[in-house]
Amino acid sequence: MITKVTYLIATILSVKAFPQNIQLLSQLPSDPIEQPDSWAWGRHPKEGFGYKARNSLTLEQCIDNPETAGTVHCDGYDYSYPVELCISMPRLAPLKVCADAKFPKDFCVSNAANMVKAKGCQKFLTDMCIMDISLATSQPCADAQYPKDFCTSNANQMVKTKGCQKFLTDMCTMDINLATSQPCADAEFPKDFCVANAVKLIKANGCQSYLTDLCTADVSLAVSSDCAGVEFPASFCTTSVQIALLDNCKGASKDVTVFQCTKNKEVCNTKLCQQFEFLCPK
């Protein structure tokens, strides 16, 4: 009889421990760490009742114990620490509790890997990003604007980086293999660089304005399909009979000089020099 009474009382108490006649969003855990009557209950307009266990730490405990910042025990609270504390404990600096802190440059730079995302260090973003090439090419450094020497010194890694695009030509001309790569497709190359690397750059967009110079820099290019339709100057057309007979030299006859024609017997006897044929060696 006593056992039945005890069971009845326990049942009544458990029924009164949490709200009655409610529709729960999910099942109560089988072994809760706290009693349901101490939980936070709330009713959603459409979804019925829900519940959430109380945090294991109070706001005061979280504030008084910085080592708990960033843990599940304190994430639900909105509080912040003074900048001095954030600096003295670098682990805290990138966290929400230090989001409003304005950090000095030397602290940001010396802790670049951890502080590159910190709001209080964004004014020193470039200074942090150049501390490490892998950091410079990472997403947190996407908006950093880099100096020319850093971009060119690390051209292969930085050629795709937004913060180095204003130095694209300088980077691409650091290496001929880089110059012919896709990231350098829009680079505008200087004439001397194009001519010095004519064979490899004959198709490069950044050298097309110097196409005649490239074609006349190498005989193999001059007779290739890459130079078809390019008009060659008389000075180049008279260098050999092979060149003089190219379609590229048809328009050069009006500019060719007697000296250019007569210095080579075979060239002089081509159609290119027909106006001077009476002077050509037989």
> pLDDT by residue (tens digit) across 6-63?
444 444 444 444 455 555 555 666 776 666 655 555 555 555 555 554 547 889 999 9
Are 25 and 8 members of one domain?
yes
**8 Å CB contact between 135 and 113:** yes
Residues 2 and 49 in one domain: yes
Same domain, 254 and 282: yes
CA distance 154 to 41: 58
The answer to whether 67 and 90 have CB atoms below 8 angstroms apart is no
The answer to whether the beta carbons of residues 144 and 127 sit under 8 Å apart is: no
Residue 221 falls inside a structural domain: yes
Residue 39 confidence (pLDDT): 55
Give the model's pLDDT for residue 281: 83
Residues 6+ apart with CB under 8 A from 176: 197, 200, 201
Residue 111, domain member (yes or no): no
Q: What percent of the chain lies above the pLDDT cut of 70?
A: 80
Domain that holds residue 170: 154-186
- The confidence score (pLDDT) of residue 86 equals 93
Q: Beta partners for 49?
A: 24, 43
Report d(CA 113, CA 139) in Å as an integer. Answer: 12
Place of tokens 């017997």: 265
CA 137 – CA 232 distance, rounded (Å): 45
Longest dimension (CA), the chain: 142
**42 in a structural domain:** yes
Judgement on whether residues 211 and 162 belong to the same structural domain of the protein: no
Host H or E run for residue 52: strand 48-52
User: Could you tell me if residue 121 is inside a domain?
Assistant: no
pLDDT at 44: 52
Is residue 212 located within the same domain as residue 251?
Answer: no
Shared domain for 21 and 35, answered yes or no, is yes
- Answer whether residue 175 is part of any domain: yes
In the prediction, which pLDDT does 62 show?
Answer: 92
For residue 279, which of 249, 250, 256 has the smallest C-alpha distance?
Answer: 256
In a domain, 269, yes or no: yes
What does the pLDDT average to over 203-224? 96
Confidence of residue 4 (pLDDT cuts 50, 70, 90): very low
What's the pLDDT band for 76 if we cut at 50, 70, 90? Answer: confident
Q: Cα separations (Å) of 184 from 11, 81, 158, 166?
A: 77, 47, 11, 12
Same domain, 180 and 225: no
Neighbours of 69 (CB within 10 A): 24
Residues 1 and 50 in one domain: yes
Domain count, the chain: 4
Q: Which position has the token pair 């050999």?
A: 240
Residue 103 in domain: no
Q: What sign results for the dihedral spanned by CA atoms 115, 117, 123, 126?
A: positive
**Which long-range CB contacts under 8 A does 220-224 form with residues at least 24 apart?**
222/246, 222/248
282 pLDDT band, cuts 50/70/90, is confident
On whether residue 46 sits in a domain, the answer given is yes
Of residues 179 and 58, more confidence is placed in: 179
Mean pLDDT estimate for the chain? 86
**What is the structure's pLDDT at 240?**
95
For residue range 93-139, list pLDDT tens digits in order: 999 999 999 999 999 999 999 999 999 999 999 999 999 999 999 99
| Predicted confidence (pLDDT) per residue in 142-156, tens digit | 999 999 999 999 999
Give the residue, 197 or 77, on which the prediction is more confident: 197
258 and 277 inside one domain: yes
Across the range 220-238, mean pLDDT stands at 96
